[in-house]
Structure 1
Amino acid sequence: MVSLITLAAAEAIAKVAFGKFFESSVGKLGEKFTETGLKKIDELYQTIRKRLSGNPGAKDALTDVEQGNQEALQRVAVYLLDVMKADGNFATDVQKIADEINIHRVEDNSSQNQYNYGGQNYQTETGENNTNQFGNTIHYHGTPPQG
């Protein structure tokens, strides 16, 4: 699992963990996550901060991010990626917390449509990244056919 870690994944994790330091993100976090999710975000932040603060370069990048410098987020992500690749247990812990955060998302950008044609109803749901779910419901009036 550790070999699957990419810079993009580390950037996404860092963005969630340090998002509270960017003015435009502060109010939006409360809209996108449950209270439990917000606590998990803080846990992720504390876990990453504790681990990276031993490295002087990473510590400087952390300080810059905590002062609202979004450009420093990329540097933090690089340090995070290095540590995650070097320590599989840390990587597993961080990914577990990130997964738990994702479970507590409130945001739902899907749309749902139902089409009725005679005795058949087709229901479709379109979600993020254009994922689709399709369902078919048949309504019988009287005794359903055996078979």
Structure 2
Amino acid sequence: MTDPVTTLTAFVIAKFAFKKFFESGVGKLGEKFTETALTKMDELRQKIWDKLRGNPRAEKALQETEKGSEEDLQRLAIYLEDEMKDDPEFAAEIRAIAHEININRVQDNSSQTQNIYGGKGYQTKMGDNNTNQFGDTHNYYGTPPQP
């Protein structure tokens, strides 16, 4: 089985570090992550800044990412990936921080209910992202029931 810490890519790590610059408000981010995760995001971002400082192109990507540029976030991930390849100790350290952020997400405590009325299934999810799904396709294994 693959260790989840070693499978975190540079892009995912960069996205965690700069997530607050892409959310509509800090309050929204606080609904999705615990206080520990938010603190770790700041720590991760600072470590990335410290590592990439001195590379003018990387610094420009960092600055633009902090302004909310998705394109520069992807460019930043490339610089970060290069540094991670060159410095395995740094890579392990920031992967561990990103893993801590990931495990400190707020759990989805919403509920989902499915009701069948006259052969149609109505599925409703109550919570953060409310969704309603309606359907009438049924798969039968064996002989289908006779009307």
| Shorter-chain TM band | 0.5 to 0.7
Give the CA deviation at 1:26: 3.6
Structure with the bigger percentage of helix:
1
Q: Aligned residue for 1:129?
A: none
Give the CA deviation at 1:67: 1.7
Check whether the contact 1:5–1:85 (CA below 8 A) recurs between aligned residues: no
Instruction: Please report the TM-score for the alignment, with normalisation by the length of structure 2.
Output: 0.65
Find the aligned partners of 2:10 and 2:25 in 1 and give their Cα distance. 18
Find the aligned partners of 1:77 and 1:25 in 2 and give their Cα distance. 23
Q: Aligned residue for 1:27?
A: 27
Question: Unmatched 5+ residue regions in structure 2?
Answer: 114-147
Q: Aligned residue for 2:65?
A: 65
Give the CA deviation at 1:25: 6.0
Give deviations 1:24-49, integer Å, cap 9, x for gaps: 26433211111111101111111111
Give the CA deviation at 1:111: 6.3
Give deviations 1:67-107, integer Å, cap 9, x for gaps: 22121100000000000010000000001101111221113
User: In the comparison of the two structures, how many residue pairs are matched?
Assistant: 110
Letter in 1 for 2:88: G
Find the aligned partners of 2:58 and 2:6 in 1 and give their Cα distance. 19
Secondary structure of 1:82's match?
A: helix
Instruction: Please report the TM-score for the alignment, with normalisation by the length of structure 1.
Output: 0.65
Q: How does 1:1-147 map to 2 (within 5 A)?
A: 9-24=9-24, 26-108=26-108
Seen in structure 2, the aligned counterparts of structure 1 residues 11 and 112 have a Cα distance that, compared at 3 Å, is: same
Find the aligned partners of 1:77 and 1:98 in 2 and give their Cα distance. 14
Give the CA deviation at 1:5: 6.6
> What's the C-alpha RMSD, in Å, of the aligned pairs?
2.6
Find the aligned partners of 1:54 and 1:68 in 2 and give their Cα distance. 22
Q: Aligned residue for 2:144?
A: none
Seen in structure 2, the aligned counterparts of structure 1 residues 109 and 82 have a Cα distance that, compared at 3 Å, is: farther
- Please identify runs of 4+ aligned residues in structure 1 that moved more than 6 A: 109-113
Find the aligned partners of 1:72 and 1:20 in 2 and give their Cα distance. 15
